[in-house]
């Protein structure tokens, strides 16, 4: 006859084993989903093979510098996929071991949208019927703001970079490190796509106040040369 206290102990241990098994199963599922979201390999752009020499503005946390560096990279011909591929290559550089500006690996840019300047808005046309695919029809909306975005030269464009929340949420926090990421992206687009005059950032299609608590993501950034030499203050 098994004593009563041993039977109670047995069933307690059995319940603990089952609970631990369920917990491990759920954690494994969560980890798989998280890794899957970072390694989304859905083909979006047509394949391309011709490599060309492009300029990447690479940042360094040690001295706060941004340096133009040339890399042979295969890029698509269309401008928007080209901008997206440039930014993905830039972030991939930062994910390499020993990077002077270490960032987490994985897809960073969901998409890049290019809008000709001056920008007009678009609103959903509530009077139109849904399209065959179930989407909504949009109508252009002119801005009444006299300070609305204007091009510096004819053909200037606004680039809207839609970042992935997985990239933004894992980005290191700090004024320097966040500013360098934005400057690096802006400088790389400026060096390779001069028709882009202004740049805005979204995160998963929504506006966000800061990148990781510091660098402003609400403002429109002018596209310009962002290379910064290592700091050497003037002599007193």
Partner 1 sequence: MKPATSALAKSAAILLALASISCPAQNSPAQTSAAPATSPAPPPPPPPATPTHPAPTPPPTPFNRSVILLDPAHGGLDSGSRISESIVEKDVTLTFAFKLRSLLAARGFSVVMTRDNDAATLPGTPNTPLTLDDRAGIANHAHPVACLLLHATAAGAGVHLYSSELDATPGETFGSPWLTAQAAWVTQSQRLQKNLAQALTRANVPLVLSRASVRPVDSLTCPALVVELAPAGGDNTTLIEGGYQQHVAEVIATALVFWQNQAQPPDRPDSATPTPPVTGAQP
Site residues for partner 1 per CB under 8 A: 42, 61-64, 111, 113, 115, 119-124, 134-136, 138, 141, 143-145, 147-149, 158, 160, 162, 172-177, 179, 182, 200, 202, 204-207, 209-210, 212-216, 218-221, 228, 231, 233-236
Question: CB-wise, 7 or 122, nearer to partner 1?
Answer: 122
Asked if residues 113 and 80 have their Cβ atoms less than 8 Å apart, the reply is yes
- Cβ proximity to partner 1: between 71 and 176 the closer is 176
Tokens of 207: 């506006």
The nearest distance, CB 170 to partner 1, in angstroms, is 13
Q: How many CA atoms does the CB half-sphere of 24 hold within 13 Å?
A: 6
CB of 151 to partner 1, least distance (A): 14
| Closest CB to partner 1 among residues 38, 212 | 212
Q: CA 86, 158, 183, 73: dihedral to nearest 10 degrees?
A: 10
Distance CA 18, CA 79 (A): 55
CA atoms within 13 A on the CB side of 151: 16
CB nearer to partner 1: pick between 27 and 209: 209
Which residues, other chains included, contact 99 with Cβ-Cβ below 8 Å and sequence gap of 6+?
A: 93
CA distance 196 to 220: 12
Strand partners, 141: 121
Smallest gap from Cβ 191 to partner 1, in A, equals 18
Closest to partner 1 by CB, 16 or 218: 218
Q: How far is the CB of 11 from partner 1 (least distance, A)?
A: 39
């Amino acid at each position: 006859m098994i004593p009563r206290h041993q039977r109670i102990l047995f069933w307690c241990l059995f319940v603990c084993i089952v609970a631990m098994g369920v917990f491990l199963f759920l954690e494994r599922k969560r980890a798989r989903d998280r890794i899957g979201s970072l390694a989304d390999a859905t083909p979006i752009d047509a394949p391309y093979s011709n490599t060309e020499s492009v300029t990447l503005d690479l940042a360094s946390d040690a001295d706060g510098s941004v340096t133009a560096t040339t890399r042979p990279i295969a890029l698509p011909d269309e401008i928007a996929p080209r901008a997206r591929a440039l930014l993905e290559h830039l972030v991939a550089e930062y994910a390499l071991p020993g990077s002077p500006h270490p960032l987490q690996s994985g897809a960073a840019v969901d998409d890049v949208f290019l809008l000709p300047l001056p920008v007009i808005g678009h609103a959903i046309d509530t009077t139109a019927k849904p399209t065959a695919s179930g989407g909504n029809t949009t109508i252009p909306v002119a801005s009444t703001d006299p300070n609305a975005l204007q091009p510096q030269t004819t053909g200037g464009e606004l680039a809207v970079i839609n970042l992935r929340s997985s990239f933004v949420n894992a980005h290191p926090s700090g004024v320097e490190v966040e500013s360098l990421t934005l400057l690096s992206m802006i400088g790389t687009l400026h060096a390779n796509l001069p028709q882009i005059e202004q740049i805005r950032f979204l995160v998963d299609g929504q506006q966000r106040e800061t990148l990781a608590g510091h660098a402003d993501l609400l403002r429109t950034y002018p596209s310009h040369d962002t290379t910064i030499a290592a700091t050497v203050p003037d002599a007193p």
